[in-house]
Amino acid sequence: MIPAAFEYYRPKDMDKVLSILEEHGDDARVMAGGHSLIPMMKLRMADVPHLIDLQDVGGMSEIEIGADTIKIGALVTQSDIIDHAALADVAPILREASLQIADPQVRYMGTLGGNIANGDPGNDMPGLMQCLDATFTVVGQDGERAIPARDFYEAAYVTAREDGEVLTAVTIPRPKGGHAYEKQKRKIGDYATAAASVQIVNDGGKCVSAAIAMTNLSDTPVFSKTAGDALVGTSVDDAALKAAVAAMLGDIDPTEDNRGPVAFKNHVAGVILRRAIARAWSRA
Amino acid sequence: MKDEITREERVDNLKGMGCSRKRVEDARFTQGKGNYVDDIKLDGMLFGDFVRSPYAHARVKSINKDTALKVPGVLAVLTADDLRPLGLHWMPTLAGDKQMVLADGKVLFQGQEVAFVVAEDRYAAADGIEAVEVEYEELPVLVNPFEALKSDVVLREDLVAEDGSIPAGAHGPRKHHNHIFTWEAGDKGPTEEVIANAEVVAEESMYYHRTHPCPLETCGCVASMDKVNGKLTLWGTFQAPHAIRTVVSLISGIEEHNIRVISPDIGGGFGNKVGAYPGYVCSVVASIVTGKPVKWIEDRMDNLMTTAFARDYHMNGKISATKEGKITGLQCHVTADHGGFDACADPTKFPAGFMNICTGSYDIPTAFLEVDGVYTNKAPGGVSYRCSFRVTEAVYFIERMIEVLAIKLNMDAAELRRINFIKKEQFPYKAALGWEYDSGDYHTAWDKALKTVDYDGLRAEQAQRVKDFKAGKTRKLMGIGLSFFTEIVGAGPVKNCDILGLGMFDSCEIRIHPTGSAIARLGTISQGQGHATTFAQILASEIGLPADSITIEEGDTDTAPYGLGTYGSRSTPVAGAATAMAGRKIRAKAQMIAAYLLEVHDNDVEFDVDRFAVKGAPEKFKTMKEIAFAAYNQAIPGLEPGLEAVSYYDPPNMTYPFGAYVCVMDIDVDTGVPEIRRFYALDDCGTRINPMIIEGQVHGGLTEALAVALGQEIAYDDMGNVKTGTLMDFFLPTAWEVPNYETDFTVTPSPHHPIGAKGVGESPHVGGVPCFSNAVQDAFRPFGNTHTNMPHDHWRIWRTANELGLHD
Amino acid sequence: MSKKKHVTLNVNGKTEEFLAEPRELLIYTLRERLNITGPHIGCETSHCGACTVTINGKSVKSCTMFAVQAEGAEITTIEGIGGPDNLHPLQEAFKEHHGLQCGYCTPGMITRATKLLEEIPNPTEAEIRFGMAGNLCRCTGYQNIVKSIQAAAAQMSAAKEAAE
């Protein structure tokens, strides 16, 4: 329960953050709300000789809703997302997903950046970001770059972010159509047994676009283009749902754990996706 | 003075038996002023914590302390070698076995204590632990008891003789080096014969999985050796403080009068805090060695991985009946997995606890039970998690066997129970496996339960649901879970119940003060059951002083009379009886004082609520308050001054609370997610002392039952690694997963108990687990399910549906 | 040994200043440095909520925060919520409705409930169960905790109306 000793920094600007990261290399890590990192440090499963607390760095705590895009700072908490009325209006899937993450206390502290940056396959936001075709702004010594969420996750805890870079914001195109974040879990506070994010657009009874991403069913979130494609041009009838599920199953690769064996997870992934699509379609 | 208030008001003012008195404990707990072990802070206090084995079975080749001892703040690193000269590297268990305090040549389960680091603060201790270098040589791991009984791998080399022979254990001969005991009850020959010749026989194998009591507060202690006065004070999470004192005295050589054990506030016990753990012994030794107080508080992972688990019983049952459904015989064989050491908390003559209550609520003429205990590479134990000794296992067994029999007979399970219940006239009832049940009226309780839930309506609804499911109109099945349990609690009569030779009586000592208030001390210790509130109610009714004027104290062995502690729902049956008896001694003396004051014979006054009045002249009375003062004020011929009494109560029998539970569940077969629609619980605990507290106990016990039945397990992989060692995977439901419960009751007093009370704390857990499990099983019965093992978590429910072809 | 940091906290209305190693968890600061033992430790994986306090108006598990992280914060624990001369309606309601047994989860439970009732002054049962899902209890089965919070909410609403 007692972490190893470490040096603590609380810089007031990003330049200082980056220079500490450069100085100490992979001995240094940034921390937002700390609710992923601190439990690992307490179990001594994460070794962090130099801990950089981001909470005083400005410019990362805002939610900006523009005409075409929404920009959310990395330090925005799940609780901020839930309480933001305008955000709930323009991108209701975010609030729906946030409410299914962890518990009230953790949501007060857990940040969007913390949920998406470290590549934990259990986290809910990465898959959702892929569904929404979000772009992550990542800042380093060489400046800023934008990485699409759909290209960000490489393996468990391995992302396109370099060690010396910090994820500072997420930009989401304003989503269209109906939405659903459907998550099966063993209890409140658990990671997903299987979860699906769906955004789907209905034009005259036909689906004209569908974005589907799956969570905790692989070592990364899975954006399943083929599952979405299987719905486009259809009336999202039973045959289309079956096709979407079959396509999705080809893209995921779940492992056995305490939540259950592979066969169970595959089955439940299909059930959850069907329900998510049905719900999103009913709202489209 | 004219009496202005009515008799009814006088009764109400006492807040005695039967009223929902608000709890006196709540003031400190709601204000954050509880005093738990980890709140204790003493001058110069040190911290101890363990280096633990990552392996389930390994030789310890070497332990290097050098680097650890250089960590700033680390004072000592104790190993078995340091404890050996004191004879403390091993300690006796409550089951007649012995257990390593620190690894002595080898380790037998993952997480086993290897070294104890003592440091100035927690941080240094944690750093010190990382710096201890241990060299292990891995050995083959046995996690399956059936394999263990066939394997050449010797787990307990200390229990094999030099010549390779296997000496008998504490409970008799041992069949194999990994075998612990065989225990039998009942009649083998006659039972086998009845079953062999029966019209109908149902047979089933079931596994009651390993789980853990997991109280919210983990185990811990503060040991403080006062070298000046030669006195050891030991605060700790002890459900049996006096027993701990005696054990510590026996193993340390310090005389009992120089040991003071204090159980302060305890954050839940549920059986986890009955036995002694290496942490207690190491803290005591460290305190003696350093001359300073030493605190040890375990982490949650330590708690789940290494302290006493519960259950882990593999049970095979055969039940025979006539074709009309009258049960004629019952056979049960258990393979009991005790882990690396048999540290089971049972009375010494009962290595399988009271498993022989497994004929349950049914009149079964002949039965036979055989239990084989086995060693494996798992944590030692087990304890009775919110139950009397092994009663959850026994009740689960019979409540599943009756369902399995109902399926075999193609009968309704509620009806099958009814026709086999022990009848009211049959009490006291001598069961085939030995116990004499004190009282019961099962038919009334069952009828009340089934009527309240509209059982026939539920079955009709369920039948329609099956039709709808087969027609593809729904993907949710409906299950009706039934459970009618009889528990055996209140251990117990000294002639057959002892813990390490200490008879399982209990005690109460009362002292009345001159101005009419009182203090009573008991040999039990509350861990949330509200003794300070309820035992004062017992006394208030017995001695006529208001409960609000009575302080109840427990837990300090310097002042409390000797008792065997609180577990197995024994406090009300045993200490509650002692309380009533001591109260009656007070009343008897009070009667003599009253007679003296009223100038009549002793027999000419009678007790009435809060006073003694002259028979036939009720306007002539003395209140208990007046009598209390008189005890200190009057020189009464033949009577000593003062007003005190003590009772050590040896119960003539256990008590047998019972209950009728019904659970309605809807199950999503595609996701495996169960939804509890309704849970009705009727409990009969005899005389009801505080209805509010009883209801709270039922809510809590049912919730722990829900957890166990629907997912809570201690699971191991083949290498003996614990898979469920944190609260991420060890299922503790939140408020969201738990339904509202409907509670109800009947009252069938215990004829042998002074106030007719039976105890209730554990009934809901004992009856709840089979009820939740039966609900799941019942949902799948129409599709061919006879038995599926718990826990019924999502994936296992899904698997049941899958195997029955419900996903096609 | 890492460099100690100077930390200032406002705890239950009182300013506390001290030097702490960065790795000192806030729960230990409260319990061992400041002798505020109401918040408890029930796990090391941030699940149980027994350590819940209110920090700058948020419900936070104090076991998952370093003292240095809380620099400058206003912290309220159960001890600051009410005492013998001024019990909070929740403290009264928990006693009235038997919302506790062993008492170990109670400080965190009540502390979280005070914040829940600020978020939702008249919560439904579902909102209470969802809003309290970060606090585990092993004794009560939650039913009387829900009742206690409902009673306190009603009492606080009535008092507010009376005051207006």
Q: Spell out the domain ranges in chain C.
A: 5-81, 89-163
Does a cis peptide bond (omega within 30 degrees of 0) precede residue B492?
yes
Does the pLDDT of residue B2 top 90, yes or no? no
List the structure tokens of B108.
């037998």
C84–B27: do the CB atoms touch at under 8 Å? yes
* Dihedral pair phi/psi, residue A53, rounded to 5°: -85, 120
Which residue of chain C has the CA closest to A33? Answer: C65
The pLDDT value given to residue C95: 98
Q: CA A15, CA A141: separation in Å to the nearest integer?
A: 8
Angle made by CA atoms B672, B678, B682, in degrees to the nearest 5: 130
Which residue of chain A has the CA closest to C67? Answer: A8
The pLDDT value given to residue A45: 95
Dihedral, CA of residue B637, residue B642, residue B645 and residue B646, to nearest 10:
-120
Q: CA C71, CA C55: separation in Å to the nearest integer?
A: 11
Q: Which of C45, C112, C132 sits opposite A39 (nearest CB)?
A: C45
The pLDDT value given to residue C3: 85
Q: What is the CATH number of domain C5-81?
A: 3.10.20.30
Q: How many angstroms separate the CA of residue C85 from the nearest CA in chain B?
A: 11
Q: What percent of chain B has pLDDT over 70?
A: 100
Does the pLDDT of residue B770 top 70, yes or no? yes
Tens-binned pLDDT, residue by residue, of chain A (284 aa): 999 999 999 999 999 999 999 999 999 999 999 999 999 999 999 999 999 999 999 999 999 999 999 999 999 999 999 999 999 999 999 999 999 999 999 999 999 999 999 999 999 999 999 999 999 999 999 999 999 999 999 999 999 999 899 999 999 999 999 999 999 999 999 999 999 999 999 999 999 999 999 999 999 999 999 999 999 999 999 999 999 999 999 999 999 999 999 999 999 999 999 999 999 999 99
The pLDDT value given to residue B808: 82
The pLDDT value given to residue C79: 98
Which residue of chain C has the CA closest to B45? Answer: C32
Alpha-carbon distance values, B454 to A190, B466, B476, B781 (Å): 36, 19, 21, 20
* Chain C stretch 54-73, residues whose beta carbon is closer than 8 A to a beta carbon of chain B: none
The answer, for B36 touching chain C at a CB cutoff of 8 Å, is: yes
Does the pLDDT of residue B3 top 70, yes or no? no
Which residue of chain A has the CA closest to B726? Answer: A43
Helix residue ranges, H only, B599-728:
624-633, 691-710
Does the pLDDT of residue B1 top 90, yes or no? no
Which residue of chain B has the CA closest to A260? Answer: B795
Active site residues of B: 239, 386-387, 762
Q: Which residues of A touch C5 (CB under 8 A)?
A: 8
Which residue(s) pair with B611 in the sheet? B608, B623
* Three-class secondary structure of residue C80 per DSSP: helix
Q: How many angstroms separate the CA of residue A175 from the nearest CA in chain C?
A: 28
Contact B561/B523 with Cβ under 8 angstroms? yes
Which residue(s) pair with A200 in the sheet? A178, A210
Dihedral, CA of residue A180, residue A183, residue A188 and residue A189, to nearest 10:
-100
Does the pLDDT of residue B79 top 70, yes or no? yes
Give the model confidence (pLDDT) of B130-189 as tens digits. 999 999 999 999 999 999 999 999 999 999 999 999 999 999 999 999 999 999 999 999
List the structure tokens of A2.
């007692």
The answer, for C45 touching chain B at a CB cutoff of 8 Å, is: yes
- The verdict on domain A178-283 having CATH code 3.30.390.50 is yes
Does the pLDDT of residue B566 top 70, yes or no? yes
Q: Which residues of C touch B217 (CB under 8 A)?
A: 40, 42, 102, 104
C139–B740: do the CB atoms touch at under 8 Å? no
**In sequence order, what E strands does B542-657 have?**
550-554, 605-608, 611-614, 617-623, 644-649
Q: How many angstroms separate the CA of residue C21 from the nearest CA in chain A?
A: 8
Q: Which of A186, A188, A267 sits opposite B807 (nearest CB)?
A: A267
| DSSP-derived secondary structure for chain A | -PPPP-EEE--SSHHHHHHHHHHHGGGEEEESS-TTHHHHHHTT-S--SEEEE-TT-SSSS-EEE-SSEEEEETT-BHHHHHH-HHHHHH-HHHHHHHTTSS-HHHHHH-BHHHHHHS--TT-SHHHHHHHTT-EEEEEETTEEEEEEHHHHEEETTEESS-TT-EEEEEEEEPP-SEEEEEEE-SSTTPPPSEEEEEEEEEETTEEEEEEEEEESSSSS-EE-HHHHHTTTTS---HHHHHHHHHHHHHH-----BTTB-HHHHHHHHHHHHHHHHHHHHHH-
The answer, for A56 touching chain C at a CB cutoff of 8 Å, is: no
Q: Which residues of B touch A193 (CB under 8 A)?
A: 794-795
The answer, for A101 touching chain C at a CB cutoff of 8 Å, is: no
Alpha-carbon distance values, A221 to A154, A251, B465, B798 (Å): 9, 10, 38, 24
Q: How many angstroms separate the CA of residue C88 from the nearest CA in chain B?
A: 9
Q: How many angstroms separate the CA of residue C24 from the nearest CA in chain A?
A: 8
Does a cis peptide bond (omega within 30 degrees of 0) precede residue B428?
yes
Q: Which residues of C touch A103 (CB under 8 A)?
A: 49, 133-134
- Cβ-Cβ pairs closer than 8 A, A with C, add up to 87
Chain C interface mutation, best of B23, B28, B29, B724, highest count of C Cβ atoms under 10 Å: B29
A106–C3: do the CB atoms touch at under 8 Å? no
Q: How many angstroms separate the CA of residue C155 from the nearest CA in chain B?
A: 17
* Three-class secondary structure of residue B226 per DSSP: strand
R_g over Cα of chain B: 28
Nearest to B17 by CA among B691, B643, B711: B691
Q: What is the CATH number of domain A63-173?
A: 3.30.465.10
Q: How many angstroms separate the CA of residue B218 from the nearest CA in chain A?
A: 13
Contact B717/B776 with Cβ under 8 angstroms? no
C45–B216: do the CB atoms touch at under 8 Å? no
Which residue of chain B has the CA closest to A256? Answer: B795
The answer, for A104 touching chain C at a CB cutoff of 8 Å, is: yes
B795–A260: do the CB atoms touch at under 8 Å? yes
Alpha-carbon distance values, B354 to B365, B394, B432, B762, C22 (Å): 19, 8, 13, 14, 52
Does the pLDDT of residue B668 top 90, yes or no? yes
Nearest to B203 by CA among B317, B313, B364, B314: B317
Q: Which residues of A touch B710 (CB under 8 A)?
A: none
The answer, for C147 touching chain B at a CB cutoff of 8 Å, is: no
Residue B673 is given by DSSP the state E
Which residue of chain C has the CA closest to B527? Answer: C102
B699–C141: do the CB atoms touch at under 8 Å? yes
* Dihedral pair phi/psi, residue B313, rounded to 5°: -115, 125
Contact A49/A28 with Cβ under 8 angstroms? yes
* Three-class secondary structure of residue B738 per DSSP: coil
**Residue A242 identity:** K
Q: Which of A2, A103, A260 sits opposite B794 (nearest CB)?
A: A260
Nearest to B483 by CA among B319, B663, B699: B663
The pLDDT value given to residue B382: 87
* Chain B stretch 293-312, residues whose beta carbon is closer than 8 A to a beta carbon of chain C: 297, 299-301
C1–A189: do the CB atoms touch at under 8 Å? no
The answer, for C138 touching chain B at a CB cutoff of 8 Å, is: yes
Q: How many angstroms separate the CA of residue B737 from the nearest CA in chain C?
A: 9
**CATH class of residue range C89-163:** mainly alpha
Quote the ipTM score: 0.98
Mean pLDDT of C72-87: 97
Q: What percent of chain B has pLDDT over 90?
A: 99
Encode B250-261: b = buried (16+ Cβ within 10 Å), e = exposed: ebbebeeeebbb
Report residue B672's pLDDT band, with 50, 70 and 90 as the boundaries.
Answer: very high
- pLDDT-wise least confident of A54-58, B161-165, B728-732, C1-5: C1-5
- The B-side interface with A (CB below 8 A) comprises 122-123, 125-127, 130, 299, 670-673, 711, 715, 723-724, 728-729, 731, 733-734, 736-737, 793-795, 798-799, 802, 807
Average model confidence (pLDDT) for chain B?
97
Does the pLDDT of residue B368 top 70, yes or no? yes
Q: Spell out the domain ranges in chain A.
A: 7-53, 63-173, 178-283
C47–B728: do the CB atoms touch at under 8 Å? yes
The pLDDT value given to residue B712: 98
Angle made by CA atoms B31, B32, B33, in degrees to the nearest 5: 90
* Three-class secondary structure of residue B474 per DSSP: coil
Q: Which residues of A touch C111 (CB under 8 A)?
A: none
List the structure tokens of B344.
């089971």
Q: Which residues of A touch B802 (CB under 8 A)?
A: 263, 267
Q: CA B43, CA B37: separation in Å to the nearest integer?
A: 15
Q: What is the second-level CATH architecture of the domain A7-53?
A: 2-Layer Sandwich (3.30)
* Dihedral pair phi/psi, residue A225, rounded to 5°: -65, -40
The pLDDT value given to residue B353: 96
The answer, for A42 touching chain C at a CB cutoff of 8 Å, is: yes
The pLDDT value given to residue C1: 60
Mean pLDDT of B467-492: 98
Which residue of chain B has the CA closest to A191? Answer: B728
Query: Is residue B514 left, alpha or beta, with left meaning phi > 0 and alpha meaning psi from -120 to 50?
Result: alpha
C46–A53: do the CB atoms touch at under 8 Å? no
Which residue of chain C has the CA closest to A6? Answer: C2
Q: CA B503, CA B579: separation in Å to the nearest integer?
A: 18
Q: Which residues of C touch B695 (CB under 8 A)?
A: 98, 144
Q: Which residues of C touch B527 (CB under 8 A)?
A: 102
